[in-house]
Amino acid sequence: MDKYGLIGHPLGHSMSPLIHKELFAISGITDYSYELIDIAPEELRNNFDMLRGMKGFNITIPHKMSIIPFADKLGESALRYNSVNCISNNGGITTGWNTDCDGFLRSAELLPLGGKVLLIGCGGVGRMIAIEAALHGAELTVAVIPQDVKTAQLVMAEILAKCSGASVKICLISEIEGRFDLLVNATPVGMYPKCDACAVSDEVISNCSTFFDVIYNPTETLLMKKARSLGRTAVGGAAMLVYQAVKAHELWYGGEFSAEDISPIISAVENEVNRMNQK
């Protein structure tokens, strides 16, 4: 039996078992296990031998950087972000990958990532989205709260080092001006249970054509509701969550999936989130 799982700390309720169960089923794989494995930071190295016995595993907070010494090799995306959220084990050779970027790019593939992009927040996943937008040729504006300006400046410097000639500027969220092809919310503003919060003003929303919110709980944030009420396209974080898992299965055993395969899984995740919130 091939063993898979998710490591992190602390591990509360996770959508990973649901998503991976569906992906294994589509691939016709039944002889496997997928477990949630709670490992405290100070115990990670002591668990390396156990992890090497697994065919593959996902990594979440706080291990995305500390797991790197475990990997024999790093994929290009992991090197680009110095962050690993997936390990594949091929004949005892472990390779670290960053599938978060794949999840974002696949779920946002119909959005104008190469146009005028307004990114709200730049920590964690926001940093990744900022870099990907720049690599796609975006005219990027990173909007942050005052205490995050230094972080934004570091991300800007990193972008310019990776992508010479990139168009990047920084502003405060309270001082956003102009029209944008795409607004990406990479902050937790609007996340359950504080669902009545919105990262930007109604005026900013009215000046943006399409939207992507990394939040998947609730399945429709207040930002998305406001955007859709104006007839705008708005994509939530559930698709990103599922597509990063899809990439893991491609890496683990060469899994192949169509958009028709994935759409019901995204719906299943959204239904589960809504069910949990009604308890």
Task: Enumerate the active-site residues.
Answer: 64
Residues of the chain by 3-state class (helix, strand, coil), percent to 5: 45, 20, 35
Query: Do residues 18 and 249 make contact, with C-beta atoms less than 8 angstroms apart?
Result: no
Helices 237-253 and 259-277 cross at an angle (nearest 10°) of 130
Compute the distance between CA of residue 171 and CA of residue 113 in angstroms, rounded to an integer: 19
DSSP assigned state of 108: T
- Torsions phi, psi for 246 (to 5 deg): -55, -45
> Tell me, what amino acid is at 35?
E
Query: Do residues 140 and 169 make contact, with C-beta atoms less than 8 angstroms apart?
Result: yes
Compute the distance between CA of residue 191 and CA of residue 11 in angstroms, rounded to an integer: 18
Query: Do residues 94 and 118 make contact, with C-beta atoms less than 8 angstroms apart?
Result: no
Residue 165 token pair: 């000639």
Residue 37 token pair: 């494995």
